Amino acid sequence: MADEDKRRARSVPSSRLGRLAGFGGLAGGMVAGALGEGARRLAAGERPSMDQMLLTPGNAKRLADRLAHMRGAAMKLGQMISMDAGDVLPPELAAILARLREQADFMPPRQLDKVLAKQWGKDWRKQFRRFEPRPIAAASIGQVHRALTRDGRTMAIKVQYPGVAQSIESDVDNVAGLLRMTGLLPEELDIAPMLAAAKAQLREEADYEREGRMMQCYAELLEGDDRFALPTLDPALTRSQILAMSFEEGRPIEALAEEPQDVRDAAFANLIELVGRELFDFGFMQTDPNFANYRYRADTGQIVLLDFGAARKVDPAISADYRRLLEAGLAEDRPRVRDEAVAAGFIAPQAIERHPERIDRAIDIVVTEMSREGQLDFGDRAFVPQIREEVMPIAKDKASWHLPPPETLFVQRKVSGTALLGARLGARVDVRGTVERILAETA
């Protein structure tokens, strides 16, 4: 849910020319900012590198603001970068990009009416007693409105921004170009497979009829589990760019942080188990861990699950990779963890050859943390700087650069994002016991 004070109505650039102009203006503004920063540093007797000149707080703000305005694949990639790489990005850029997880502009009423009329027809208002024009949430691909149908049902209507589906290819390529310009994506790193996978996933997310089917599939998997609640699809009102579903009450998941420790721990333990079930039991995972995709009901303790555009089947080979990796970690067999991480594509063989001691120390930190008996305190992230100290020299070594397979990255994004939520909530969970139980039950 976006912060009401930060959101504003701004028309979404829907034409290819308009979106291209947006990227051009952003690039020009960042270059101008870099020139100013370079002049300032030179006057101070420094010899700044290009990435130091580009990655300024001013340019980071320009990047976040423009992506929030353009929305679509451009903003979605910004969100993914901020969540997936937040611990290793320059602090200024990480802080600004984190805003993209929390806010988005929304369509002005005239543009909204055009989209609804195109999908439902000009007399679309006749289907409702009330349709609230100001969205209750605005995200990267669409915004959500509350509505009351003629038969008295309160609905959540997700409306896709115009031009989003048609601009995925160019948006992804343009964002990748901007990131290369800043030095965040080195020229030597082959990101073509990752970009192709990102485009494919974003095309799926832009198909709201598909999302409705994924939501129904997930509901069937969780049938009878009253720890979770999901919206109910309204197929009659759903279109390719409109998703109509029941409105589900709930507070932002971050509100859990205000609850007693035992309440936080119990709720987050349920989410940890859910990820394990997705990976090893369902073979089906909602791979977007954005905090806005969860709501909390204090009266029942239920967690409301939202947004199934990124839901997908999990390749059995990936599940098997994670099983072997976790079994090695639980056995505290560090050499085997290293071998399984290479086999799964998490670590490049050349990184092992060039930085064996650093790799082993990083693995030791992770295994020690994850295999400890009793509760793991997700709020204690003292080990993160230790890992960063080991992996940053590897990341700076061009001969060690490597990206895991795209499908593995989608799964790992859910795993890592869930851990970040645990840190936000300060939750404590017996991770070792939970993982051992799930592996045994799904063997």
Q: Is 66 left (phi over 0), alpha (psi -120 to 50) or beta?
A: alpha
DSSP state of 279: I
Q: How far is CA 188 from CA 199, 269, 397, in A?
A: 21, 41, 11
SS3 assignment, position 145: strand
DSSP 45-75: T----HHHHHS-HHHHHHHHHHHHHH-HHHH
User: Three-state SS for 87?
Assistant: coil
Asked if residues 313 and 284 have their Cβ atoms less than 8 Å apart, the reply is yes
Report the alpha-carbon distance of residue 86 to residue 92 in Å, rounded.
11
Q: Annotated catalytic sites, by residue?
A: 288
Location of structure tokens 């979770």: 228
Cα–Cα dist 346/350, whole Å: 12
Q: How far is the CA of 305 from the CAs of 282, 288, 418, in angstroms?
A: 16, 11, 13
- Tokens at 425, concatenated: 């909530």
User: 45: which 2 tokens?
Assistant: 């007797």
237, 255, 256, 258: which is closest to 246 by C-alpha? Answer: 237
Residue 362: name the closest of 321, 330, 326, 394 by CA: 394
Q: In Å, what is the CA distance from 112 to each residue of 7, 10, 313?
A: 16, 11, 33
User: What are the Cα distances from residue 175, in Å, to 53, 75, 149, 371?
Assistant: 19, 9, 40, 38
Alpha helices, DSSP H, located in 371-405: 383-395
Q: For the chain, what is the largest distance between any 2 Cα atoms, rounded to a whole number of angstroms?
A: 71
141 secondary structure, DSSP code: S
Q: How many residues does the chain have?
A: 443
Q: Are 219 and 213 in contact (CB under 8 A)?
A: no
The residue assigned the tokens 């589906």 is 165
